[in-house]
């Protein structure tokens, strides 16, 4: 590397007048323009410079350098996703060409230890902290249960499959893996599919190891098409998070009730296979009406998160089941935003909360139509939730100022709270009109009430959405904003 440095600086005539970081950036940029020299020097390159060289090649799209660096990478783990904003197809090809060199053993590098290429964009990683032998697998062992998987090269990614179709880089990656299934393990940790043809999703599911999927999100699917995926879904034995949202009624108007019941039963039949499920989100699903007990009783392990958002058809019988459901007694996060509670017995929300009071950390009851009677019944159980970190009661417009003050007196005793979201009291409205002066008058008083009992961290009050501009008024201990109307 000494010869390379001497040649590099001599040719580019870099002086020592700049800062060390500027000099280093100039040296890196200049070095990368001499691709043949870089590639020939990789066997002697100091190990701590590999990450810097890789980042420079990636950012400046020096594809030949990238291919060579990957084929000589001296660490088990290469977290490419940490650098990705929009993955360029040519860059992906360069990365995979580097793996091809290793797989075909066209060039032997005594230094290369690469076993895992990580393409996940949401994994933040500090390249400077890479050490030999570290991060050989950035996931739990059970995500790749087959013993032979440890012998394979592993490509880890998350798939976002939207109705716009598959990105060109996803198509290329799938084709590349398909041709190398005997030596490459495609490990998908998170998969989101929104309104795609069943045939397209099947192609993806056939190429990934279904045991590796930890998080599955299916959005805007018709029931009859969703059922077609069940044979694949029930193989996801390590699934931890399941999100079903916007599941729509059968497309055909001639679908009989018996057929729909059969599809529903097929969907429910897959739930017992998810033996590691921790988080269940059932948002805007018409199927839950009078059958919430069937969905939750099918589970084999207690949940940590239960989210039921915007399911307007839930009946009182569904809520009557929740206080007795053993699979929610260890909940850390309960989200019932947009569920109309105004037509159910006021005591039921409190009974549900009583069931999870010893473990609950996040409680979200935004825009639930709760009245004074609901809040009064909720307060005794709320006081027992000593582990709460966040509460959200926004846009429950029928709470009076007196009951809101009582609510604050109870939450003031919850010392772990870091975020509190409260609705504006009923007295801040006159029909559809928001009384901004009243809102600005009450909020400082309410905040002072909290401060007298505890030092709050992040507290805010909000009105419902303005009927003219669709925005709310907000007041918090960090500042205030009006809606957009003058």
The predicted pLDDT at position 385 comes to 97
What is the C-alpha to C-alpha distance for residues 455 and 414, in angstroms, rounded to an integer?
11
What is the C-alpha to C-alpha distance for residues 112 and 75, in angstroms, rounded to an integer?
7
What is the C-alpha to C-alpha distance for residues 413 and 254, in angstroms, rounded to an integer?
56
The predicted pLDDT at position 148 comes to 54
What is the C-alpha to C-alpha distance for residues 359 and 129, in angstroms, rounded to an integer?
36
Whole-number percent of the chain with pLDDT over 70: 84
* pLDDT tens digits for range 123-166: 766 666 665 444 444 444 344 655 555 557 899 999 999 876 78
Q: What average pLDDT does the segment 345-365 reach?
A: 96
- Indicate whether 102 pLDDT > 80: yes
SS3 state of residue 26: helix
* pLDDT tens digits for range 24-59: 454 555 555 667 777 777 888 888 888 888 888 888
Q: pLDDT: is 152 or 382 the higher one? A: 382
Please report which confidence band the pLDDT of residue 8 belongs to, taking 50, 70 and 90 as the band edges. very low
Q: What average pLDDT does the segment 219-236 reach?
A: 93
What is the C-alpha to C-alpha distance for residues 296 and 313, in angstroms, rounded to an integer?
17
């Amino acid at each position: 590397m000494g010869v390379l440095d001497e040649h590099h600086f001599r040719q580019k005539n870099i002086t020592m007048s700049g800062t060390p970081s500027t000099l280093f950036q100039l040296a890196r940029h200049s070095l990368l323009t001499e691709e043949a020299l870089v590639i020939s020097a990789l066997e002697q390159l100091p190990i701590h410079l590999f990450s810097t060289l890789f980042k420079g090649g990636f950012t400046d799209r020096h594809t030949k350098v990238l291919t060579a660096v990957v084929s000589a990478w001296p660490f088990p783990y290469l977290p490419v996703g940490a650098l990705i904003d929009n993955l360029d197809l040519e860059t992906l090809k360069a990365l995979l060409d580097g793996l091809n060199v290793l797989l075909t053993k066209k060039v032997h590098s005594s230094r290369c230890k690469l076993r895992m290429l990580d393409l996940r964009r949401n994994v933040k990683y500090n390249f400077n902290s890479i050490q030999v032998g570290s991060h050989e697998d950035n996931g739990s062992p059970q995500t790749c249960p087959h013993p032979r998987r440890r012998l394979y090269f592993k490509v880890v990614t998350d798939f976002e499959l939207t109705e716009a179709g598959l990105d060109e880089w996803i198509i290329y990656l799938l084709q590349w893996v398909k041709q190398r299934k005997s030596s490459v393990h495609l490990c998908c940790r998170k998969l989101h599919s929104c309104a795609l043809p069943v045939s397209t999703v099947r192609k993806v599911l056939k190429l990934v190891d279904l045991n590796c999927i930890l998080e599955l999100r299916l959005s805007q699917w018709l029931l009859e098409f969703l059922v077609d995926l069940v044979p694949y879904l029930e193989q996801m034995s390590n699934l931890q998070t399941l999100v079903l949202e916007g599941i729509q009624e059968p497309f055909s108007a001639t679908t009989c009730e018996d057929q729909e019941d059969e599809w529903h039963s097929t969907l429910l039949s897959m739930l017992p296979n998810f033996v590691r499920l921790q988080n269940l989100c059932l948002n805007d699903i018409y199927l839950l009406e009078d059958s919430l007990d069937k969905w939750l009783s099918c589970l084999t392990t207690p949940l940590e998160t239960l989210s039921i958002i915007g399911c307007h058809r839930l009946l009182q019988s569904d809520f009557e089941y929740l206080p007795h459901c053993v699979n929610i007694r260890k909940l850390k996060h309960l989200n019932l935003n947009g569920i109309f509670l105004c037509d159910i017995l006021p005591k039921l929300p409190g009974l549900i909360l009583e069931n999870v009071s010893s473990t609950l950390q996040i409680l979200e009851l935004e825009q639930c139509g709760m009245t004074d009677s609901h809040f009064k019944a909720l307060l005794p159980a709320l006081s027992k939730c000593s582990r709460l970190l966040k509460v959200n009661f926004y846009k429950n417009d029928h709470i009076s100022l007196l009951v809101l003050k009582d609510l604050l007196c109870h939450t003031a005793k919850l010392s772990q709270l870091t975020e509190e979201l409260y609705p504006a009291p009923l007295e801040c409205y006159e029909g559809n009109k928001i009384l901004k002066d009243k809102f600005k008058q009450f909020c400082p008083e309410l905040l002072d009430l909290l401060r007298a009992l505890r030092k709050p961290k992040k507290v805010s009050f909000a009105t419902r959405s303005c009927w003219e501009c669709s925005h709310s008024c907000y007041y918090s201990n960090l500042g205030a904003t009006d809606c957009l109307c003058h």
